[in-house]
Amino acid sequence: MALSNRITCLFLLAVLVPPSSTLQSAEHNKYVLAIGIDGLRTDALDAAKTPNIDALKANGSFSNACKILGPRYQKNDTISGPGWTSYLTGVWADKHGVHDNKFGGRKISRYPHFFNLVKQQFPDYRTASFVDWYPIDKYVVTKADVRVGYEAHGSDGYTVFDQHIADRAVKVLAEQDVRASMVYFGATDENGHRFGFHPSVPQYMRSIEKVDQHVGRLIEAIKSRPNYAREDWLILISSDHGGEGKGHGSGHQVPNIHNIYLIVSGASAAKGEFQQQVYLVDLVATALKHLDVPFQPQWQLDGKPVGLVPRQQ
């Protein structure tokens, strides 16, 4: 072959054949697992023995100063109802309408759970929800193909039902093709209310470490999947609030309450501590971005995608 023809062939190959990283990305189906840990105070997580969450932090982006309140609107209470609704809808309380744990004035049909947004673009994508703070299941969860909701009571009850939640979620994650999942654990918050939200409180610390064991089981279930090598899993971890003393209400000016962790982990996640301010509502936007769900203006999302490696075009 003449030299000029050889150069032409090499040029065409360079133009027409995408880099190996792009091919790999195109061949890997994308999945999201969002893990919610209720009442998780940041310095307590830092002090606890949590090898599984630590490994997720090391393989992703993270912040221990993620805000549960946005700069535009801060009139809702710093409690679970508005916190988890913002976590799951990607908008602040002036939009979703949940200001307390009574869920009065909710506008979930207008600003739905992000499963609904995934289904709008990919109706065949299966979703799964596992929660034991029942109001989440009752008032917020929509479009879940697998829906497990328990009504736990007291710190002992949540410890038991967190175990049931983990057991059910492990089986589904290992055996079913579920593209978007949310798993909620409530014992941390209940132990904080009963014994205190602080790294010096043994019961609270043990509840965090127990949740870390559950997280480890979820990750092992994902890794056990027969097609795991051809899947791109994004793991998101956050909370609804922290705590101070034995409570967290009216915590607008209390950093230990309004600062939480946000962890974005996986092969598609950037690595290291966030250099910009991140917010609770960023979780939904990040999940949708990873799943290649086009954002629609009518959704009016307040969050933005964070912690993802920029993709080659």
Closest CA to 39 of 138, 185, 161, 170: 185
- Mean pLDDT score of the chain: 92
pLDDT-derived band at 301 (thresholds 50, 70, 90) equals very high
pLDDT-derived band at 312 (thresholds 50, 70, 90) equals low
Q: What is the pLDDT of residues 84-97, one digit of tens each?
A: 999 999 999 999 99
Per-residue pLDDT at 2 exceeds 60: no
Q: What is the pLDDT of residues 55-86, one digit of tens each?
A: 999 999 999 999 999 999 999 999 999 999 99
Per-residue pLDDT at 18 exceeds 90: no
Per-residue pLDDT at 287 exceeds 70: yes
Q: What is the pLDDT of residues 164-221, one digit of tens each?
A: 999 999 999 999 999 999 999 999 999 999 999 999 999 999 999 999 999 999 999 9
Separation of alpha carbons 279 and 166, rounded Å: 26
pTM of the model: 0.91
Per-residue pLDDT at 5 exceeds 80: no
312 or 163, greater pLDDT: 163
Q: What is the pLDDT of residues 107-122, one digit of tens each?
A: 999 999 999 999 999 9
Pairing of strands 259-266, 60-67: antiparallel
Q: How far apart are the first and last CA of the chain?
A: 33
pLDDT-derived band at 28 (thresholds 50, 70, 90) equals confident
pLDDT of amino acid 155: 78
Q: What is the CATH number of domain 23-299?
A: 3.40.720.10
Side chain identity, residue 87: Y
